[in-house]
C-alpha cells in the first residue's frame, strides 16, 4: 500500500487516537517524574527536583527489612489463593445464573448479589468479628452449644486464610459476574437450540457452548489478574488482619502504610510501589506471551 | 424422562444455592438498615443484627433536614453522569483504532497506554499538575485525570475483537469509512459491554473520594462519598488521641444510627441503577441482530 | 489558617463560614486589616492532605497536626519558620498561656519551629469497676493488686454478669493494655529507667525493657488462663466488643481514657449499662500497686496539636498575632461557650460556667469550637483543680462526682513523659512496625498456655528487638548519656 492510500485509509483512526493519546501523555506521563522519589532522599519542602539523589539506597534499606520480605511473600500468597478461588467464583456464578429460567428470579438474584461491592471493608470487618470470633462469635457459640470445639476462624493463621478468601469471594463475586453476563449475551441462541434437539444435557451444553463462548473474556481477565499479582488492596488485609495472624496478614500495602505513609517516608512508599510495578509488568507480559502462544489470544 | 428429572433436580439445587448466596449478600445491608433505624442504647449494647431494635426514624429525619446532603447528592449525580459519558467516549476512541491490526504504530501506542496501568507519579506530582492546570476546586479535577482506564479499554477491545470480521469487511467494500463502521456496526453490536463499562465507570466515580480529598476544599463541591467518609470516620478518630477527645467534649457527636442512615443514603441511588440496566443483558441479542 | 472539617457541621453551616469565623474576622481581622481565610482539611486524612499542601507550597499560614511524627518530620526537613523571635515580639499572651513546658516540645535545635497547643489537663487513663458487683461480694473498692485479683476472681466465681461474665474487660488498644501492663510492673522505675527503658511508639510509652515487664505479662497470662480476661481481646482492635461488654453488664473491670465511660450522652457506656442492668454502676478504681505501693501510670505530654508556620508563609507575624489574640481569655471563652461573658458564660469560683442558652439560633452556634481553638486543649485556668472542674461541665450532673474521681485518679502517681531535647529517630521510623510487634507479643504471650509462656514471650521479645527495638534502645541510651554527662 502506498503511503498516500495508507493515510487515506487510516487517517480517521489516527484522528480518533489523538485525544486519548494526549490524555495519557498529559495526565499519566506528565506527573511520572514522581517515580524518581524512589531514588532520592526526598525532602517535602525542597520538592522532587531539588531533593538530593541517593541512588538505590532506599531499595537496599527495604530489602534489608525482614518485615518487607514477609510482606512480599504474603502478598503473593494471598493473591495466588485469590486467583485460585476468587477468580473462578464469578464464572461459576455466571453459569449458575445463566441456567435460571425465570427472568424475574434471575434479576433479583443478580441485583442482591451485587450489593456487597458497595459496603466498605470497615463495616464488613465489624460484621465478621461478630460472626467468626473465636469465643464470642455467633458461629462458634452455636458450635459450642452443639458440643463442638470452637474454630479459630480469625485467630489461627491457616483458618484465617480461609476466612480471608471467603470474605473476598463474598464481597466480589456478584460484581465480578457482570462482565461475564455481558459476554454471555454474545452467544448465539441457536447453538443452544441445536444442542437441545441433539439431546445434549445441561452440563454438556454448559461445557461445549457456554464456556467456550466466554473463553476470550476469561482469558483476558486472567491475564489482567496475573498482572495484579504483586499488588494488593489495603483494606481487606488491614481490616481482617490481627496480631495473631500477622504472619500472613502483613502484606505490602499494610507495610507501606506502616513504614511509609504514616511516618511520611515517601521514598520508601515510592520505592515499594516501583518494585511492585516492575514485577507486575513482567507478569502481565509473561502471561500475555503464554496465552498468545497457546491460546492464540493476547491483550497487547 | 430420566433426563427431565435430572434437569429438575439440577434446577432446584441451583436455585437453592443461589438463594443461600443471595441471603448472605443481603445480610450486611439489612444490618446497616437496622442500625439506621435503631436506638442508641441498643446499638451500644451490640444487640442490633439484622432487625432494628428500639425502632425509630430519627436519624433519617435528622439527615433529610440537612440541605447539604441533597446538594452533595445532586452534585454527585451530575459529576457521575458527566464523567461516565466522557469516559465512554474517550475509551471508545482509544479502543476501536487499537483493534485494527493494520494500523502502524498500534503496538507502540498500546504499550504506551499499558505502562500507565503500573507506573504513575504519585499523589504529589498529580496534585501539582492539577494545580498547574488550574483545576483545583472544580468538578473537572474529579473528571479529567480519570478519563480512560486502561483496564476497561482492554476489556472493550476484547469485545470489539469478538465481532465477526466479515461484517466490517463487507461494510468496507461497500465504501463505509472507519467512522461509519464504528457507528453503524461496532457500537450497536456492543451494547452489553458498553452498558457494563458505563456501570463500572459510574460506580467507580460514585464510590471514589480520595481525589476529592486533595482537590476540593469548597464544601459546595463535596461528593457524597467524601461527606460520608468524614461522617463515618469522625468518631473513630476522635478516640485515638486523648488530647483530642477531651477537647471535643463540648462538640456534638454523631450517633451511630445517623452514620448508618448516611451510608444507606449514599448507596441506594447507585444500587438501583443496576436493575434498570439489566434489560440490556439478554442472551443472544448480538448475533441475532447480526443475522438481520 | 487551617481548620479541620469533621463532617459534623449543622445544616446550612460550613467550617469555613460560621459564627466562629465571623467573630474572628470582626474582632481580629478587621481591626488589623487582615482578611482571614480558613482552609478546611478533612480530619480523617489530615496528614495526607497536609503533606500535599506543604509539598506544593499551597499550605495556609498556620497548619497543624495531631501527629507528632509528622510535625517532627517537617521540623527536620527545614520547611518551617522559626517563630521564637516572633513570639517574643508579637505573642506575649501566647507565651504566658502556653508556658515554657509546652513550648519546649516545639523546639528543634533550639529553634522554635512549632507551637504546640496547650494541654490543660494531662491525665491519661483511669480504671473502672462495677460498684454493684463489689457490693454483692461485700468487698470494698480494691486498693492493691492482690485485692483486685480477689475481686476479679469473685466476679468470675459468682458469674455476676450471667453466663459469659468477663471479670477484666480488655481490647487490643493501647489505651487499655498500657495501663494494665504499667500497673502490673512490680519494680519502681528510676528516672534513668524512664529515659532508657521506655520506647515511645506513637502516643504511648511502652515499658517493654523494664525488668518487671515479663512478669507483668506473666500475670496477665495467668489471669487469662483462669478465665478472668476477655477471651477474644486480640480481635477487638477498636474496643467495640469491650464497650459492648461494659454496656450489657458483662464486664467487671476495665481501663480506658480517663472518664470516657461517662461520655456519649444517652448512648454512653455508663448510661447504657444503667438501662440494661438496673442498679448497674461503674466507679473509678486505682487497682494496681507496685513494690513501693505506688499506682504507676502514664501521663500525656502537656501538648495537643502541633501548630506550624511554613516557610512559604508571607504572613508569619500576623499568624502569631492571630494566635496571640486567640488565647486571650475572653476570646477563648467566647468560642468554648458560644458567646461573650454574660450571654455565653459567667465566672464562678474562678472558672467560666456555661449559661444555658435555649434560644440560640443554629446559625449563631460555634459548632466546632474546639477546632477553632486548636491552640488550647481544654482550658488552662491556673490550677489542675480548676482545669478538671472545667472539663466536668460537659458531663451529666449525676456523673460529675465520679468523673472528678476518675480525673484525679488519672494523675495519682502518674509519670510525665520523659522527653529528650530531640526526638529519637528510630522511634519515628519504627513506631508503627514495633507497635504491631508489641501487640503480637502481648496477645500471643497472654493467650499462651502457662507452660509455653516463657518460650512464646522470649521468641517474640527477640523479634521485637530485631525489628527496631534495639536501635531505639541504643539511641535512647546515647541520648541519655549526652543529656546527663
Work out whether strand C345-348 and strand C351-354 pair parallel, antiparallel, or are unpaired: antiparallel
Work out the number of other CB atoms within 10 angstroms of the CB of residue C260.
24
Cβ neighbours of C310 in A, within 8 Å: 45
Q: Please state the pTM of the whole predicted model.
A: 0.89
Q: What is the pLDDT of residue C253?
A: 96
Return d(Cα C411, Cα C296) in angstroms, integer: 9
User: Can you tell me the mean pLDDT for A108-114?
Assistant: 91
The partner residues of C257 in beta bridges, in order of sequence, read C125
Q: What is the pLDDT of residue A248?
A: 94
Q: Quick one: pLDDT band at residue B135, thresholds 50, 70, 90? A: very high
Nearest Cα of chain C lies from the Cα of B239 at a distance, in angstroms, of: 9
Any chains having at least 3 CB pairs less than 8 A from chain B are A, C
C-alpha cell at C154: 469473685
Cβ distance of B284 and A111 shorter than 8 Å: no
Work out the number of other CB atoms within 10 angstroms of the CB of residue C320.
24
Nearest Cα of chain B lies from the Cα of C463 at a distance, in angstroms, of: 26
Q: Give pLDDT tens digits for B213-263.
A: 889 888 788 899 888 887 776 655 444 455 566 656 555 556 788 888 988
C-alpha cell at B291: 443475522
Which residue, C126, C69, C52, C26, is CA-closest to C408? Answer: C126
Cβ neighbours of C42 in B, within 8 Å: 213, 226, 229-230
Residue A144 lies in a domain: yes
Q: Quick one: pLDDT band at residue A229, thresholds 50, 70, 90? A: very high
Q: At what angle do helices B191-207 and B224-238 cross, to 10 degrees?
A: 40
- ipTM field: 0.91
Return d(Cα C238, Cα B239) in angstroms, integer: 10
> Which residue among C67, C231, C433 sits closest to A258, beta carbon to beta carbon?
C433
A19 in B contact zone (CB under 8 Å): yes
Residue B33 lies in a domain: no
Give the SS3 label for residue A122.
Answer: helix
Cβ distance of C234 and A155 shorter than 8 Å: yes
Residue B292: exposure state from Cβ atoms within 10 A (0-12, 13-18, ≥19): exposed
Q: Report the CATH number at residue B270.
A: 1.10.3720.10
Q: What is the pLDDT of residue A152?
A: 92
User: Can you tell me the mean pLDDT for A184-212?
Assistant: 84
Chain B neighbours among A 255-284 (CB < 8 Å)? 266, 270, 273-274, 277-278, 280-281, 284
Q: At what angle do helices A157-184 and A88-98 cross, to 10 degrees?
A: 50
Q: What is the pLDDT of residue B2?
A: 57
> Domain C125-296+415-431+462-483, CATH 3.40.190.10 — does that match?
yes
> Range with the lowest mean pLDDT among A280-294, B151-165, B227-241?
B227-241
CB of C250 closer than 8 Å to CB of C161: yes
> Which residue among B40, B234, B255 sits closest to C7, beta carbon to beta carbon?
B234
Helical spans, DSSP H, in C168-263: 174-184, 191-197, 213-225, 240-247
Return d(Cα B150, Cα B99) in angstroms, integer: 14
User: Can you tell me the mean pLDDT for B179-202?
Assistant: 91
CA distances from C418 to C190, C273, C425, C476 (A): 11, 38, 16, 11
Q: What is the pLDDT of residue C361?
A: 65
Cβ distance of A134 and C467 shorter than 8 Å: no
R_g of chain C, CA atoms, integer Å? 24
Residue B30 lies in a domain: no
**What does the domain layout of chain C look like in residue ranges?**
2-119+301-380, 125-296+415-431+462-483
Return d(Cα B180, Cα A13) in angstroms, integer: 12
Q: Report the CATH number at residue A267.
A: 1.10.3720.10
The domain total for chain B is 1
Cβ neighbours of A263 in C, within 8 Å: 69-70, 73, 428-429, 431-432
pLDDT for residue A262 is more than 70: no
A31 in B contact zone (CB under 8 Å): yes
Helix-strand-coil split of chain A, %, nearest 5: 75, 0, 25
Fold of C2-119+301-380: D-Maltodextrin-Binding Protein; domain 2 (3.40.190)
Give the domain range for residue A200.
39-295
Task: Write the DSSP symbol of residue C17.
Answer: B
Query: What is the CB-side half-sphere exposure of residue A102 using CA atoms within 13 A?
Result: 8
Give the domain range for residue B82.
60-281
pLDDT for residue B271 is more than 90: no
Residue B5 lies in a domain: no
Residue A65 lies in a domain: yes
Kindly identify which residue of chain C lies nearest to residue A66, measuring between CA atoms: C467
Cβ neighbours of C56 in B, within 8 Å: 124, 127-128, 131
Domain C2-119+301-380 matches domain C125-296+415-431+462-483 at the CATH topology level: yes
pLDDT for residue B292 is more than 50: no
Residue B36 lies in a domain: no
Residue A6 lies in a domain: no
Q: What is the pLDDT of residue B291?
A: 37
Nearest Cα of chain B lies from the Cα of A217 at a distance, in angstroms, of: 7
Q: What is the pLDDT of residue A28?
A: 94
Mutation pick from C178, C246, C267, C277 vs chain B, by most beta carbons of B within 10 Å, is: C267
Any chains having at least 3 CB pairs less than 8 A from chain C are A, B
Q: What is the pLDDT of residue B289?
A: 43
CB of C3 closer than 8 Å to CB of C20: no
Q: What is the pLDDT of residue C78?
A: 86
Q: At what angle do helices C384-392 and C400-411 cross, to 10 degrees?
A: 140
Nearest Cα of chain C lies from the Cα of B41 at a distance, in angstroms, of: 5
Cβ neighbours of A138 in C, within 8 Å: none
Residue A1 lies in a domain: no
The partner residues of C202 in beta bridges, in order of sequence, read none
Cβ distance of A182 and B32 shorter than 8 Å: no
Q: Which residues of B24-35 are buried (b: 16+ CB within 10 A; e: fewer)?
A: ebebbbebbbbb
A95 in B contact zone (CB under 8 Å): no
Binned average pLDDT, 10 residues per bin, chain C of 485 residues:
62 72 87 85 79 86 86 87 92 91 88 90 92 95 95 94 92 93 91 91 90 96 96 90 92 92 84 91 94 90 89 89 90 82 79 72 68 81 85 85 92 87 83 91 95 96 93 94 82
Nearest Cα of chain B lies from the Cα of C103 at a distance, in angstroms, of: 16
Cβ distance of B126 and A31 shorter than 8 Å: yes
The domain total for chain A is 1
Amino acid at each position: 500500500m502506498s503511503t498516500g492510500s495508507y493515510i487515506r485509509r487510516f487517517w480517521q483512526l489516527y484522528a480518533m487516537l489523538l485525544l486519548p493519546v494526549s490524555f495519557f501523555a498529559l495526565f499519566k506521563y506528565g506527573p511520572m517524574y514522581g517515580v524518581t522519589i524512589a531514588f532520592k532522599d526526598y525532602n517535602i519542602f525542597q520538592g522532587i527536583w531539588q531533593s538530593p539523589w541517593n541512588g538505590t539506597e532506599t531499595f537496599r534499606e527495604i530489602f534489608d527489612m525482614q518485615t518487607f520480605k514477609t510482606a512480599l511473600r504474603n502478598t503473593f500468597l494471598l493473591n495466588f489463593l485469590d486467583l485460585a478461588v476468587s477468580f473462578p467464583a464469578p464464572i461459576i456464578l455466571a453459569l449458575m445464573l445463566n441456567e435460571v429460567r425465570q427472568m424475574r428470579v434471575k434479576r433479583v438474584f443478580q441485583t442482591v448479589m451485587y450489593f456487597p461491592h458497595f459496603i466498605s471493608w470497615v463495616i464488613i470487618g465489624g460484621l465478621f468479628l461478630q460472626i467468626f470470633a473465636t469465643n464470642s462469635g455467633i458461629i462458634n457459640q452455636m458450635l459450642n452449644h452443639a458440643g463442638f470445639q470452637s474454630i479459630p476462624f480469625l485467630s489461627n493463621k491457616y483458618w484465617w486464610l480461609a476466612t480471608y478468601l471467603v470474605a473476598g469471594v463474598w464481597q466480589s463475586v456478584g460484581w465480578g459476574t457482570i462482565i461475564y453476563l455481558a459476554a454471555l449475551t454474545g452467544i448465539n441462541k441457536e447453538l443452544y437450540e441445536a444442542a437441545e434437539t441433539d439431546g445434549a444435557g445441561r452440563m454438556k451444553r454448559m461445557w461445549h457452548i457456554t464456556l467456550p463462548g466466554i473463553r476470550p473474556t476469561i482469558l483476558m481477565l486472567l491475564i489482567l489478574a496475573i498482572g495484579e499479582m504483586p499488588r494488593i488492596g489495603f483494606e481487606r488485609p488491614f481490616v481482617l488482619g490481627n496480631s495473631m495472624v500477622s504472619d500472613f496478614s502483613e502484606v505490602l500495602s499494610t507495610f507501606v502504610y506502616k513504614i511509609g505513609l504514616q511516618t511520611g517516608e515517601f521514598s520508601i512508599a515510592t520505592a515499594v510501589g516501583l518494585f511492585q510495578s516492575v514485577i507486575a509488568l513482567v507478569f502481565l507480559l509473561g502471561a500475555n506471551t503464554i496465552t498468545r502462544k497457546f491460546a492464540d489470544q493476547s491483550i497487547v | 424422562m430420566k433426563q427431565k428429572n435430572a434437569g429438575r433436580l439440577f434446577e432446584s439445587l441451583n436455585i437453592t444455592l443461589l438463594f443461600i448466596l443471595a441471603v448472605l449478600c443481603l445480610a450486611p445491608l439489612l444490618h446497616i438498615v437496622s442500625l439506621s433505624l435503631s436506638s442508641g442504647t441498643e446499638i451500644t449494647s451490640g444487640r442490633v443484627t439484622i432487625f432494628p431494635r428500639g425502632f425509630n426514624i430519627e436519624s433519617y429525619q435528622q439527615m433529610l433536614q440537612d440541605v447539604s446532603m441533597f446538594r452533595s447528592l445532586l452534585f454527585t449525580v451530575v459529576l457521575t453522569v458527566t464523567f461516565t459519558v466522557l469516559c465512554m467516549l474517550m475509551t471508545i476512541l482509544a479502543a476501536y483504532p487499537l483493534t485494527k491490526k493494520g494500523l502502524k504504530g498500534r503496538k507502540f501506542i498500546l504499550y504506551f497506554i499499558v505502562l500507565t496501568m503500573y507506573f504513575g507519579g504519585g499523589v504529589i506530582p498529580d496534585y501539582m499538575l492539577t494545580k498547574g492546570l488550574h483545576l483545583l476546586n472544580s468538578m473537572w479535577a474529579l473528571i479529567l485525570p480519570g478519563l480512560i482506564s486502561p483496564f476497561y479499554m482492554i476489556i472493550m477491545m476484547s469485545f470489539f475483537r469478538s465481532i465477526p470480521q466479515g461484517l466490517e469487511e463487507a461494510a468496507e467494500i461497500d465504501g463505509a469509512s472507519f467512522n461509519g463502521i464504528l457507528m453503524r456496526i461496532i457500537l450497536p453490536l456492543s451494547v452489553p459491554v458498553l452498558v457494563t463499562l458505563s456501570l463500572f465507570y459510574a460506580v467507580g466515580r460514585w464510590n471514589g473520594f480520595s481525589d476529592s480529598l486533595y482537590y476540593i476544599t469548597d464544601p459546595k463541591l463535596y461528593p457524597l462519598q467524601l461527606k460520608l467518609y468524614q461522617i463515618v470516620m469522625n468518631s473513630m478518630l476522635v478516640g485515638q488521641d486523648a488530647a483530642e477527645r477531651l477537647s471535643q467534649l463540648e462538640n456534638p457527636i454523631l450517633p451511630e444510627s445517623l452514620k448508618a442512615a448516611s451510608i444507606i443514603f449514599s448507596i441506594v441511588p447507585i444500587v438501583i441503577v443496576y436493575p434498570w440496566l439489566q434489560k440490556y443483558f439478554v442472551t443472544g441479542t448480538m448475533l441475532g441482530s447480526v443475522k438481520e | 489558617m487551617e481548620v479541620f472539617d469533621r463532617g459534623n457541621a449543622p445544616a446550612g453551616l460550613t467550617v469555613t463560614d460560621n459564627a466562629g469565623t465571623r467573630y474572628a474576622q470582626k474582632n481580629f481581622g478587621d481591626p488589623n486589616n487582615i482578611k482571614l481565610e480558613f482552609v478546611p482539611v478533612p480530619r480523617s486524612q489530615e496528614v495526607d492532605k497536609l503533606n500535599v499542601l506543604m509539598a506544593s507550597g499551597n499550605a495556609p499560614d498556620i497548619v497543624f497536626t495531631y501527629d507528632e511524627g509528622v510535625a517532627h518530620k517537617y521540623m527536620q526537613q527545614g520547611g518551617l519558620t522559626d517563630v521564637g523571635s516572633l513570639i517574643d515580639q508579637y505573642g506575649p499572651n501566647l507565651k504566658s498561656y502556653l508556658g515554657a513546658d509546652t513550648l519546649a516540645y516545639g523546639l528543634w535545635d533550639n529553634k522554635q519551629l512549632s507551637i504546640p497547643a496547650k494541654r490543660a489537663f494531662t491525665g491519661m487513663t483511669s480504671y473502672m469497676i462495677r460498684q454493684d458487683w463489689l457490693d454483692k461480694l461485700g468487698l470494698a473498692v480494691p486498693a492493691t493488686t492482690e485485692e483486685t485479683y480477689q475481686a476479679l476472681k469473685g466476679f468470675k466465681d459468682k458469674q455476676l454478669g450471667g453466663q459469659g461474665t468477663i471479670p477484666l474487660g480488655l481490647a487490643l488498644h493501647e489505651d487499655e493494655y498500657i495501663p494494665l501492663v504499667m500497673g502490673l510492673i512490680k519494680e519502681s522505675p528510676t528516672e534513668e529507667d524512664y529515659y532508657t527503658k521506655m520506647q515511645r511508639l506513637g502516643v504511648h510509652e511502652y515499658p517493654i525493657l523494664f525488668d518487671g515487664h515479663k512478669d507483668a505479662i506473666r500475670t496477665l497470662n495467668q489471669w487469662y488462663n483462669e478465665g478472668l480476661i476477655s477471651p477474644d481481646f486480640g480481635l477487638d482492635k477498636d474496643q467495640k466488643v469491650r464497650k459492648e461488654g461494659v454496656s450489657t453488664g458483662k464486664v467487671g473491670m476495665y481501663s480506658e481514657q480517663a472518664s470516657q465511660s461517662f461520655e456519649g450522652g444517652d448512648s454512653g457506656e455508663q448510661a447504657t449499662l444503667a438501662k440494661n442492668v438496673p442498679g448497674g454502676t461503674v466507679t473509678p478504681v486505682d487497682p494496681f500497686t507496685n513494690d513501693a505501693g505506688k499506682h504507676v501510670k502514664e501521663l500525656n505530654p502537656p501538648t495537643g496539636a502541633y501548630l506550624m508556620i511554613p516557610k512559604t508563609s508571607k504572613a508569619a507575624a500576623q499568624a502569631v498575632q492571630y494566635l496571640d489574640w486567640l488565647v486571650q481569655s475572653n476570646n477563648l471563652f467566647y468560642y468554648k461557650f458560644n458567646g461573650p461573658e454574660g450571654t455565653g458564660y459567667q465566672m464562678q469560683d474562678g472558672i467560666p460556667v456555661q449559661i444555658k442558652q435555649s434560644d440560640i439560633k443554629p446559625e449563631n452556634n460555634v459548632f466546632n469550637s474546639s477546632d477553632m481553638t486548636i491552640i488550647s486543649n481544654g482550658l488552662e485556668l491556673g490550677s489542675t483543680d480548676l482545669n478538671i472542674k472545667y472539663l466536668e461541665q460537659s458531663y451529666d450532673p449525676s456523673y460529675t462526682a465520679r468523673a472528678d474521681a476518675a480525673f484525679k485518679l488519672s494523675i495519682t502517681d502518674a509519670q510525665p513523659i520523659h522527653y529528650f531535647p530531640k526526638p529519637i529517630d528510630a522511634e519515628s521510623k519504627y513506631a508503627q512496625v514495633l507497635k504491631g510487634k508489641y501487640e503480637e507479643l502481648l496477645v500471643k504471650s497472654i493467650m499462651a498456655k502457662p507452660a509455653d509462656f516463657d518460650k512464646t514471650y522470649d521468641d517474640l521479645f527477640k523479634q521485637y528487638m530485631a525489628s527496631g527495638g534495639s536501635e531505639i534502645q541504643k539511641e535512647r541510651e546515647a541520648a541519655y548519656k549526652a543529656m546527663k554527662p
